[in-house]
Amino acid sequence: MEQHPGFVAAVEEAQKGAAEGGVPIGAALVSKDGKILGRGHNMRAQNGSAILHAEMSALENSGRLPAWAYEGATMYTTLSPCDMCTGACLLYKVNRVIIGENKNFMGGEDYLRARGKEVIVLDNEECKHLMEKFVKEKPELWNEDISI
Ligand SMILES: [Zn+2]
């Protein structure tokens, strides 16, 4: 699963975010038939955005799609999704959420499961490394975002 193009894209997006000096979290929305609908990374610092977390960026970059396009879709994200992104996954009826890691932040995984979604945590080293480095180097930026 760590080789899946959706997860690879999410990690690339997180790396892009790090290179831009932002919060290194990436995500990709993948359709039932395995096509990447959209990908993106946290744009809080870059855009001064209050809502463009990685998952929201991926949804935004997917464009305005008909409801059927989200059926059976998977959201790949490098970090456990916060309440806002958990809610967005539920709103768009994403079927499955695959998470790089939840050691640096634990979001709405139990709620997703309670709502019948499949949740898989990969405990990926690269995702953990990106976040650990970021939290250590820019605690103020992390603390003004979703914080822990
Ligand atoms: Zn979020």
* Domain of residue 104, CATH code: 3.40.140.10
> Do 80 and 46 meet the contact criterion of CB atoms below 8 Å apart?
no
CA–centroid distance, 86 to ligand 1, in Å, is 7
How many distinct structural domains can be found in the chain?
Answer: 1
- Tokens 């970059």 map to which residue? 61
In this predicted model, what pLDDT tens digit does every residue of 9-33 receive, in sequence order? 999 999 999 999 999 999 999 999 9
Catalytically active residues, by annotation: 55
User: What single letter denotes the amino acid at residue 57?
Assistant: S
Phi, psi (deg, nearest 5) at residue 37: -80, -35
Alpha-helical regions (H) of 20-103: 44-47, 54-62, 67-70, 83-91
CA–centroid distance, 64 to ligand 1, in Å, is 19
Q: Where are the beta strands (DSSP E) in 10-108?
A: 26-30, 36-41, 74-79, 96-101
CA–centroid distance, 82 to ligand 1, in Å, is 4
Phi, psi (deg, nearest 5) at residue 4: -60, 135
In this predicted model, what pLDDT tens digit does every residue of 29-86 receive, in sequence order? 999 999 999 999 999 999 999 999 999 999 999 999 999 999 999 999 999 999 999 9
Structure tokens at 9: 């894209």
Domain limits for position 139: 5-146
pTM higher than the cut 0.85:
yes
CA–centroid distance, 92 to ligand 1, in Å, is 15
In this predicted model, what pLDDT tens digit does every residue of 52-65 receive, in sequence order? 999 999 999 999 99
> Do 40 and 17 meet the contact criterion of CB atoms below 8 Å apart?
no
